[in-house]
Amino acid sequence: MALNLDAIGKKIGPVNKEYNWKDLVLYALGVGAGFDELEYCYEHNLKVIPSFSIASVFEFLAEVGISSNADLSGILHGEQDIIFHNPIPTEGTITTEGLITNMYDKGPGKGALVVAEADTYHSNGSKLFTNIFTLFCRKDGGFGGDPGPSVGFEFPDRTPDFEEQARSSSDQPLLYRLSGDIFQLHADPEFARASGFEKPIMHGLCTHGFACRAVIKHLFPGEPERMTRFRVRFSKTLYPGIPITTQIWKMEEGRALFRALNAESGEVVIDQGIVEWMSAEEMEMRKGRGGIRFDGQVAIVTGAGAGLGRVYALELARRGARVVVNDLGGARDGSGKGSSSPADDVVEEIKAAGGEAVANYDSVATAEGGQGIVDTAMDAFGRLDILINNAGILRDKTLVKMEPENWDAVMDVHLKGAYNVTRPAFVKMRENRYGRIILTTSSAGLYGNFGQTNYSSAKMGLIGLMNTAKIEGDKHNIKINTVAPVAATRLTEDILPPDLLEKLKPEFVAPLVLYLCSERCPVSGAIYNAGMGYFNRVAIVTGPGTVVGKENEVPSPEAVATGMAKIRSIKDAEEFPNATAAFGPLLDAFSPKKKEASPQESGRLTVAGIFEGIPNAFQADKAAGVNVVFQFDISGGGGGSWYVTIKDSNCEVSEGSHGSPTTAIKMGDEDFVNLITGKLNAMSAFTGGKLKIEGDLMKSQLIEKLFKF
């Protein structure tokens, strides 16, 4: 078995978990808390041990192990780094998404490292924490990969400032595993011996919880919510019942180093520990601020010298962002040499209110200008998190009177301008694995408006830019959305009636834009109208359509005319996530449908029944020379795992998982039954995400040839 290097960069999740106070208390008991730390163990005024953050995402961690294809009998937790963004509530639902970022090869016999990263959000919308996992795969080294970075670390050459003594019970792993980490290494004596241990060992993450309690007790007692980082390296295993000594060196206010020792042997079991925390004053300030914040983030707003852009920039800064205020300072139609005054004035407003901002005067209409805007952010603040493409001009004329220069000028600012800034911004966001991008469309583009063919075309073009950028940004945690604002700005002051201008202040658009710019935003690839505090979503949908004429015959225009009522209908229309998925209905339309099963037949058909019937469906005459193993992992209440071995024109069905299948098929139970009964087209299922194929994709096509149900 070899590591699956193709898993690097592929999104894992979302993984959802609902929890309440009982889960928190069970975890606390599992990591040694008791009556002496009742705040962790009693629902009255309950506090959360921050290391619960890793116990709450075991399902994600399990997916990392499975996706990496590591040998589970040799897998150990290597390192864990947790960044805390907000205090963990005592109940709710959390959603975790992430990916495997690297696989490092330590050499034959030395193992490999699988590194993954995940962000977790609470159902209240707040980002809670980021986990960076490193799994040590003892049996998977020697694949010829990068050995990975080497990080230096030294403890102070002095006596620890604090030491905490604790002892786990001899049954500690049995209690801790009830929080979700049920790996048999910590409970099954035979499995433990097969893995090279005398008996089941302590979970590294259980010892991790002991250490977390210890540093809180000595550094910021009674206030676990102040923790902002907790990083460890797991260096040695520990058997339950052996006492633990946690040594702590305070380096400066807000930062300390620590390690945990086997108190009997002196061996270090948790090494290179780093803990960071905010001051009590900072904690109070955070409580006071509340809501959506952009502290530590950097934003670019183009066209920010007035109107919507100015409001976006001011509000971002008020909520903690450092802002690049870009504005050429030109006329409404883009003419003139420009002026630094609009951008400078907004920067001064931000600074006067206690914020941070710098001005930029580059034109978005050139690639050099777009790069210059991004460079300003990097030079001034060293990072980039948010981009609002807001710059625009108007040159309205009817189509017949639209000279090429007026067409090109509007395209250069709106469509090419968004590309010119978004491209270099995307590069920086991809490096940080985080970004929020806003494009500005218009009702003129979405629905049309007399005298604005250039403007409408550019604004609709931005939708296409978003649709593909959302796909490319997905695995990098870059979300991109588009807003169609209705607001009183210099571009609309002579278009809208005077009595509406007061009601259409840009301030009424900004709340939606700021939400879409925030960490809380789970959405990508959406279009929204916004104005006067009214918001709604716009979607491109596809009607069900109809087949015209006979299959394999070109239909006549007259046949199209006859079927036009069905062709143009959008009843039961669908929204598709990408172009491939949109191809599905066409395939379905020409896919022969099997006769609908009677209720009695449908009631008897199960996933298990399908696999029982596979030998009868096997077409031995089609299997000459075929040597494959198909793994089927069917999720849902009626699912399970089976593998089908085809060799020497024989077919054998086995329940369970094969060590190295040729192809793995993953589906939900209902979708699988519908696929087998002909109600679901295989290609449509694949392109729509209902059917996942791993391993040899081409060999999966043999299934239709080898089996006739």
Overall average pLDDT of the 252-281 stretch: 95
Q: Given the DSSP bridges, would you call strands 162-167 and 243-252 parallel, antiparallel or unpaired?
A: antiparallel
Give the lowest-confidence range in 182-196, 389-403, 535-549.
182-196
Write out pLDDT tens, residues 100-155.
Answer: 999 999 999 889 999 999 999 888 878 899 999 999 998 888 888 888 888 788 99
Alpha carbons within 13 A on the beta-carbon side of 58:
17
Mapping DSSP to helix (H, G, I), strand (E, B) and coil, where does residue 324 land?
Answer: strand
What is the rounded CA–CA span in Å between residue 205 and residue 317? 39
pLDDT at 239 (0 to 100): 96
What is the rounded CA–CA span in Å between residue 403 and residue 396? 11
Eight-class DSSP state of 707: B
Q: How many CB atoms lie within 10 A of CB 130?
A: 20
What is the rounded CA–CA span in Å between residue 74 and residue 505? 62
What is the rounded CA–CA span in Å between residue 122 and residue 92? 7
What is the rounded CA–CA span in Å between residue 210 and residue 417? 54
**In this structure, is the dihedral angle defined by the CA atoms of residues 327, 328, 330 and 333, taken in order, positive or negative?**
negative
Numbered ranges of CATH 3.10.129.10 in the chain: 7-143+161-285
**In this structure, is the dihedral angle defined by the CA atoms of residues 596, 602, 607 and 612, taken in order, positive or negative?**
negative
pLDDT at 99 (0 to 100): 92
pLDDT at 686 (0 to 100): 67
Q: Which residue has the tokens 């200008």?
A: 369
Mapping DSSP to helix (H, G, I), strand (E, B) and coil, where does residue 573 land?
Answer: coil
What is the rounded CA–CA span in Å between residue 299 and residue 346? 14
Numbered ranges of CATH 3.40.50.720 in the chain: 292-538
What is the rounded CA–CA span in Å between residue 160 and residue 156? 8
515 classed as catalytic: no
Eight-class DSSP state of 660: S
Q: How far is CA 441 from CA 316, 422, 584, 589, 643, in A?
A: 20, 15, 28, 34, 50
Give the lowest-confidence range in 169-183, 318-332, 693-707.
693-707
SS3 of 375-405: the string is: HHHHHHHCCCCEEECCCCCCCCECHHHCCHH
What is the rounded CA–CA span in Å between residue 176 and residue 178? 5
Q: Which residue has the tokens 């019942």?
A: 241
What is the rounded CA–CA span in Å between residue 358 and residue 379? 10
Contacts of 622 (CB under 8 A, 6+ apart): 705, 706
Q: Give the helix/strand (H/E) hosting 442.
A: none
pLDDT at 130 (0 to 100): 94
Residue of 700, 707, 709, 657 lying closest to 682 (CA atoms): 700
- Residue 390 clears pLDDT 80, i.e. is over it: yes
What is the rounded CA–CA span in Å between residue 366 and residue 380? 21
Q: Which residue has the tokens 């981009």?
A: 387
Alpha carbons within 13 A on the beta-carbon side of 203:
27
Q: Is 386 in contact with 350 (CB distance < 8 Å)? A: no
Q: How far is CA 370 from CA 160, 375, 386, 421, 441, in A?
A: 52, 9, 14, 4, 19
What confidence category does residue 594 fall into, taking pLDDT thresholds of 50, 70 and 90?
A: very low
Give the lowest-confidence range in 66-75, 276-285, 644-653.
66-75
Q: Given the DSSP bridges, would you call strands 127-137 and 322-326 parallel, antiparallel or unpaired?
A: unpaired
pLDDT at 492 (0 to 100): 56
Write out pLDDT tens, residues 291-344.
Answer: 788 988 999 999 999 999 999 999 999 999 999 999 998 887 777 777 899 999
Residue of 32, 35, 42 lying closest to 213 (CA atoms): 32
Mapping DSSP to helix (H, G, I), strand (E, B) and coil, where does residue 88 land?
Answer: coil
Torsion angle defined by CA atoms of residues 454, 459, 461 and 465, in that order, rounded to the nearest 10 degrees = 150
What is the rounded CA–CA span in Å between residue 483 and residue 516? 9
For residues 448 and 681, which has the higher predicted lDDT (pLDDT)? 448
Mapping DSSP to helix (H, G, I), strand (E, B) and coil, where does residue 498 land?
Answer: helix
Mapping DSSP to helix (H, G, I), strand (E, B) and coil, where does residue 565 land?
Answer: helix
Q: Is 208 in contact with 275 (CB distance < 8 Å)? A: no
DSSP 98-109: EEEEEEEE--TT
Eight-class DSSP state of 593: P
What is the rounded CA–CA span in Å between residue 305 and residue 313? 9
> Which tokens go with 271?
């090494």
- Residue 498 clears pLDDT 90, i.e. is over it: no
pLDDT at 10 (0 to 100): 85
Q: What's the mean pLDDT when you consider all of the chain?
A: 89
Mapping DSSP to helix (H, G, I), strand (E, B) and coil, where does residue 663 land?
Answer: strand
pLDDT at 600 (0 to 100): 38
Q: Is 278 in contact with 366 (CB distance < 8 Å)? A: no
Angle between helix 204-219 and helix 21-30 axes, rounded to 10 deg:
100
What confidence category does residue 497 fall into, taking pLDDT thresholds of 50, 70 and 90?
A: low
SS3 of 5-52: the string is: HHHECCEEEEEEEEECHHHHHHHHHHCCCCHHHHHHCCCCCCCCCCCH
Q: Give the phi and the psi of residue 183 in degrees, each rounded to 5.
A: -55, 130
Q: Which residue has the tokens 């099954």?
A: 188
What confidence category does residue 230 fall into, taking pLDDT thresholds of 50, 70 and 90?
A: very high
List the beta bridge partners of residue 529.
484, 536
Does domain 7-143+161-285 fall under CATH 3.20.20.70? My reply is: no
- Residue 596 clears pLDDT 50, i.e. is over it: no
Q: How far is CA 571 from CA 115, 543, 565, 618, in A?
A: 47, 6, 11, 41
Contacts of 657 (CB under 8 A, 6+ apart): 631, 633, 641, 643
Superfamily of chain region 292-538: NAD(P)-binding Rossmann-like Domain (3.40.50.720)
Contacts of 202 (CB under 8 A, 6+ apart): 168, 172, 173, 186, 237, 238, 239, 240
Residue of 504, 467, 525, 483 lying closest to 390 (CA atoms): 483
Overall average pLDDT of the 45-68 stretch: 89
Q: Which residue has the tokens 């999740």?
A: 13
Numbered ranges of CATH 3.30.1050.10 in the chain: 599-706
- Residue 580 clears pLDDT 60, i.e. is over it: yes
Q: Which is catalytic among the residues 176, 312, 455, 528? A: 455
Write out pLDDT tens, residues 19-46.
Answer: 999 999 999 999 999 999 999 999 999 9
Write out pLDDT tens, residues 664-698.
Answer: 999 988 889 888 887 777 766 765 668 888 877 66
> Which tokens go with 546?
């109809």
Q: Is 302 in contact with 390 (CB distance < 8 Å)? A: yes
What is the rounded CA–CA span in Å between residue 383 and residue 372? 14
Fold of 599-706: Nonspecific Lipid-transfer Protein; Chain A (3.30.1050)
Q: Is 405 in contact with 466 (CB distance < 8 Å)? A: no
CA-derived radius of gyration, the chain? 30
> Which tokens go with 385?
């998190």
